[in-house]
Structure 1
Amino acid sequence: MAAPLLSLRGISKRYGEVRANQAVDIDVAPRSIHAILGENGAGKSTLMKLIYGVETPDSGEMLWQGVPLKLASPAAARRRGIGMVFQHFSLFETLTVIENIRLVVPGQTRALIARIRELGTEFGLEVDPHAHVHELSVGERQRVEIIRCLMTDPKLLILDEPTSVLPPQSVDKLFDTLLRLRDGGVSVLFISHKLEEIRAICDRATILSAGKVTGHVDPREHDAHDLARMMIGRDMPEPPPRTPSEPGETMLELIGLTYTPDDPFGMPLKDVALTLRAGEILGIAGISGNGQAELSELISGEIRLPFENREQVQMMGEPVGHLGPAERRQLGFAFVPEDRLGRGAVQGMSLARNSLLTAHPLGLVRHGLIAMAQATEFTRRCIADHDVRTSGAEAEASGLSGGNLQKFIVGREMMLAPKLFFLAQPTWGVDIGAATAIRQKLVALRNEGVAILVISEEIDELFDICDRIQVLSQGRLSPSLETRETRPEDIGRYMIGAGAAA
């Protein structure tokens, strides 16, 4: 066998009392795609940051082609030929796409723009080089990260949940790219909670649990169920049955919703119509950048309509298009945004103080003063009930793994006992065990009579939990499709604008 491209020997990293990595040993072979598997909080992202020079190990040794490797920064890692695409984006939001890429990739602006467009066309990662990052959806930002990394011609490419917000067509193209890169001499470290992806593309897998290596396997020799059991240490629970019932009263109605954003790079919405009733889950499918961000902000109240158009958005039978988020929440509305850091939680605040953001009406504020003891107790119940892996209610949001922060935000909103519950990308970056748990809870809420709207780019997720699906394409919403009478290929045709003809 060829000598490893990268070797880790006894790598350990601690943050206060938390042992993120403990004596980790891994060999990454040349020309290989190597998966790192584990639950949220298992230490995967920390380990990748150590390899990329973002963090420094407390002990242990890294070897690059047999030579000791010490990295003082990501720039030093890139000079060695190590590139990384982060799960949480490392982009400057006030800069344009090309300005962000120029910070890392040398070259003339015109040539870089041409290369961005070329990669976008080749791999289904289209993005406007002149768009400001703050104007882009989460999926479009992920495309920028992947393009920027590919433009550095890495020998080792680290991908942390690279497909979590990509449509199926782009995932296939990305996998083709990775296989070509592997065959051309590039090794890939691949983190994904989608076990079928691991089986499809990876030559080797290392399993982490609580920061320790618990096994090395060839994922092609195991089915997804076996991999899930090895990863979470137990059998996967069965999802609860979707109890057949007649939906109740209408909880959300969009009537000819038309909106033109001020942002020239935004997606206008054209005559959008949907009806969601109590006791059903409606899913919105679509490729990122087709109006999901605008639709989310209009439903959540972050964008308000002129008073004369207020009836285009109705909740619990009342026109709310002109109302803000707080007023809509008073009617029984709860919301989980796709951007968990920034919109769902404040990263520098404790979980208890993050609970106050939306749960303050539940006795957490009294006579205009914060009731910190009640906020802490609320947060502890959320942590316990939703299996949030953290040191406690005083832990900062930024200290949680992406999946655990997502579980906290979803749990916080569920504890508000909403009548109408809206979630955008509810299981993005969440491991298979946690994703199953979130979906179980959503189906249970649906069975209790809650109206649930889910925007997701995970087609399998929508088919798992939704009663009906509509597809958003170029700012237009397809007719309502009964899930039990619809195939994934039908959804795919609507996603590319061919559904009506089909």
Structure 2
Amino acid sequence: MSSSNTPPRLELRAITKRYPGTLANDRIDLRIDAGEIHALLGENGAGKSTLMKIIYGVTAPDSGTVLWQGQAVQVRDPAQARALGIGMVFQHFSLFETLTVAENIALALGAEAGTPKQLEGRIREVSQRYGMGLDPQRLVHSLSIGERQRVEIVRCLMQDIKLLILDEPTSVLTPQEVDELFVTLRALAAEGCSILFISHKLGEVRALCHNATVLRGGRVSGDCVPAECSDLELARLMVGDAEGLEASYPKVGGGLPRLRVDDLSWRNADPFGTSLSQLRLEVRSGEIVGIAGVAGNGQDELLALLSGETRLPRGERERISLDQLPIANLHPDARRRLGLAFVPAERLGHGAVPDMSLADNALLSSFHQGLIGAGLVKRGKVLALATEIVRRFAVKTPDVHTPARSLSGGNLQKFILGREVMQQPKLLVAAHPTWGVDVGAAATIHRELIALRDAGAAILVISEDLDELFQISDRIGALCSGRLSPLKATAETNVTEVGGWMAGQFDNPAAA
């Protein structure tokens, strides 16, 4: 990292950004030295995204100064940011799946790409230099999630990047891929590249980052050396109130089988989808079963078959059963009437209708809870339900008439999960329940899932966050290429073994 006489690679002084009704960034100071891995932490709505956009030239600050290597600059757009040496890898990759690795990188480099042969040579040289070997001729859709992230990073490195911004870079990686990424990032830092690392995974921040800046409510709430802090201390800087953050949930054995998936195979006609092979799964009353896996390994297909969005022929209706009743050919509303509740992966458009109010969104999946009579909606009961969801799950919203699209991701997630939990289901299937949610909201969601479990519900959680699954699951397994690993009691396995399952290192399908 820089000596005391060397100006920092990037320095922000009193950066302020206002939007109508919101002070997103309030006089924020930030310093990143050459060769430093610096974490930017904060709960949803803390101002991280706005600050990243200012650094990368997507948004202009209202006031304050941006200094690049000691010189004041105005970063007008991402093209200028890249010209300065600032690169960014977003949480959601921006790659064309039907193009090759080389073609995707060529689009970013433009005239600097050179001839195809020259570009392929440079891709191999740069990727191998940092331990991220890539085949330039591979089509992107054939790459794993970890390999696609390599393409994004290599694309930045080929533009002579001096500051690399990574937004939640480990959210879709296996533990082994995280380890490989950290080796690469440490090698980059050793050569003088600065890294701004945004993550909700505090253990990873403590293991990787030299320093951290924590935002709360648009302001800097603290600076620290992560390795010298506990996860709880970092969380307190982020959310203030540490209630529930120390919760250690006891593991249970569960009761009678509630959900049973029996030798389920399903062929996906989508060439970019995943087919399922001989899945066997049992979730008991009063337990949480966690299914890990990197995105694209059959999670969406399994969720659709469980929720009823995809149905099997009548002759295979017993492949999925709820309390011994075959449901594999039933429509979603019929499954809900039998006691199934569902939290989908996509909030807007799947979990909630963006332009509809929270009250109307509460009605969408709770209509069979006495909210309709004689063909008429009982508006008073609908409003009372929505109001209770907002209160119980601490959803930040002006009122229940607010459109779903106006809520932050974390608050909408709490509302959707609350809507399903309030139905007191026999079986809850939840996909990525705390995706992109800060530690405070995640603690609220986890407490509610445990309470529902302890009330006797069977819960199946599908998530890419291994830390979350180990925290709340009683048994755990993993999906890889449409196959399900064995299920083990969480206390009898570890992250390394489950990470191996995520990479397909298992022989037998899960036992019932």
Aligned to 2:67: 63
Q: Distance in 2 between matches of 1:385 and 1:257?
A: 37
Match of 1:72 among 54, 76, 84: 76
Contact 1:165 1:428 in 2 (8 A): no
1 CA distance for matches of 2:373 and 2:119?
56
Equivalent runs, 1:107-256 vs 2, <5 Å: 107=113, 115=123, 119=127, 122-123=131-132, 130=139, 148-150=155-157, 152-237=159-244, 238-239=246-247, 241-242=249-250, 244=252, 247-248=255-256, 250-256=257-263
Matched-pair identity in %: 49
Work out the CA distance in 2 between the residues paired with 1:247 and 1:102. 56
TM superposition shift of 1:124: 8.7
For residue 427 of structure 2, what is the aligned residue in structure 1? Answer: 420
Q: Distance in 1 between matches of 2:353 and 2:136?
A: 28
Q: 1:431 aligns with which of 425, 435, 438?
A: 438
Deviations 1:332-361 (A, max 9, x none): 212222333443344555544544443344
CA separation of 1:384 and 1:117: change in aligned 2, threshold 3 A: farther
Residue in structure 1 matched with residue 468 of structure 2 by the alignment: 461
The answer to whether the Cα contact below 8 Å between 2:100 and 2:140 also exists between their aligned partners in 1 is: yes
- Against the structure 1 CA distance between its residues 353 and 86, is the aligned structure 2 distance closer, same or farther, given a 3 Å change threshold? farther
Query: Does 2:298 correspond to 1:291?
Result: yes
Structure 1 runs not aligned, ≥5 long: none
Deviation digits for residues 281-340 of structure 1 (CA, Å, limit 9, x no counterpart): 111123433322222222222222223222212223322222333332232212222333
User: Which stretch has the larger CA shift, 379-388 or 210-219?
Assistant: 379-388
The 8 Å contact of residues 291 and 474 in structure 1, kept in 2 or not, is answered as yes
SS at match of 2:108: coil
* Aligned-residue offset at 1:36: 1.2
Q: 1:390 to 1:167 in 2, by over 3 A?
A: farther
- Number of residue-to-residue matches in the alignment: 497
In structure 2, C-alpha distance between the alignment counterparts of 1:316 and 1:186, rounded to whole Å: 56
Structure 1 Cα separation of the partners of residues 86 and 104 of structure 2? 18
CA distance 1:492–1:10, shift in 2 (3 Å): closer
Q: CA deviation at 1:220?
A: 2.1
Cα distance in structure 1, aligned partners of 2:373 and 2:118: 59
**Unpaired runs of 5+ in structure 2?**
none
SS of 1:104 mapped into structure 2: helix
CA distance in 2, matches of 1:14, 1:356: 35
1:306 partnered with 2:313? yes
Moved more, 404-413 or 43-52: 404-413
Q: Cα offset for 1:144?
A: 6.3
* 1:23 matched residue in structure 2: 27
Report SS of the residue matched to 2:286: coil
Greater CA deviation, 122-131 or 66-75?
A: 122-131
Q: CA deviation at 1:91?
A: 3.8
**Aligned residue type for 2:239:** I
Structure 1 letter corresponding to 2:51: L
Task: Identify the range of structure 1 (454-463 vs 102-111) with the bigger mean alpha-carbon deviation.
Answer: 102-111
Q: Give me the whole-angstrom Cα distance separating, in 1, the residues matched to 2:138 and 2:417.
A: 34
Aligned pair in 2 of structure 1 residues 445, 314: CA closer, same or farther (>3 Å)? same
Contact 1:113 1:129 in 2 (8 A): no
- Structure 1 position 386 matched with structure 2 position 393: yes
Q: 1:213 to 1:322 in 2, by over 3 A?
A: same
For residues 127 and 368 of structure 1, what CA distance do their matches in structure 2 show? 60
Query: Aligned pair in 2 of structure 1 residues 155, 285: CA closer, same or farther (>3 Å)?
Result: same
Largest Rg, 1 or 2: 2
CA distance in 2, matches of 1:259, 1:202: 43
Change (3 A) 1:192 1:495: same
Once the two structures are TM-superposed, the CA of residue 32 in structure 1 deviates from its matched residue by 1.0
The letter of the residue matching 1:7 is E
How far apart, in 1, do the equivalents of 2:96 and 2:171 lie? 20
Secondary structure of the residue that 1:25 maps to in structure 2?
strand
Q: In 1, Cα distance between the equivalents of 2:403 and 2:107?
A: 30
Shift of 1:42: 1.3
Aligned runs of 1:337-486 on 2, under 5 Å?
337-347=344-354, 350-362=357-369, 377-486=384-493
- Output one character per residue of 1:164-187: Cα deviation in whole Å (capped at 9) or x when no partner: 121101111111111112122221
Deviation at 1:16, TM superposition (A): 1.9
C-alpha displacement at 1:3, in angstroms? 0.8
TM-score, with normalisation over the residues of structure 1? 0.86
Distance (Å, rounded) in 1 between the aligned partners of 2:149 and 2:370: 39
Q: Is the 8 A contact 2:254 2:285 kept in 1?
A: no
Does the 8 Å contact 1:139/1:289 carry over to 2?
no
Structure 1 residue 205: deviation in Å?
A: 0.9
Q: Distance in 1 between matches of 2:317 and 2:496?
A: 36
Moved more, 102-111 or 300-309: 102-111
Following TM superposition, by how much is the alpha carbon of 1:496 offset from its aligned partner in structure 2, in angstroms?
3.4
Amino acid at match of 1:416: Q
CA distance in structure 2 between the aligned counterparts of 1:127 and 1:348, rounded to whole angstroms? 43
**Alpha-carbon contact 1:348-1:397 (below 8 Å) kept:** yes
Residues 487 and 216 (structure 1), Cα distance of their counterparts in 2 relative to 1, 3 Å cut: closer
Residues in 2 aligned to 1:25 and 1:435: alpha-carbon distance in whole angstroms: 28
Structure-2 residue corresponding to 1:325: 332
The more displaced of 220-229 and 208-217 is 220-229
Q: Which amino acid aligns with 2:30?
A: I
The 3 A distance-change label for structure 1 pair 379 and 53 is farther
Q: CA deviation at 1:247?
A: 0.7
- The residue that corresponds to 1:82 in the other structure is 86
Tell me the amino acid that sits aligned with residue 29 of structure 2. D
Distance 1:155 1:407 in 2: 38
Contact map agreement 1:41 1:400 (CA 8 A) in 2:
no
Corresponding residue to 1:53 among 53, 57, 69: 57
2:279 is aligned with 1:275: no
Question: What is the CA–CA distance in structure 2 between the aligned matches of 1:163 and 1:127, rounded to whole Å?
Answer: 23
User: For the structure 1 residues 43 and 389, does the alpha-carbon distance in structure 2 shift closer, same or farther, using more than 3 Å as the test?
Assistant: farther
Q: Which amino acid aligns with 2:211?
A: R
**Mapped contact 2:251–2:474 kept (Cα < 8 A):** no
Taking structure 1 as reference, are residues 448 and 70 closer, same or farther at Cα in structure 2, changes over 3 Å only?
same
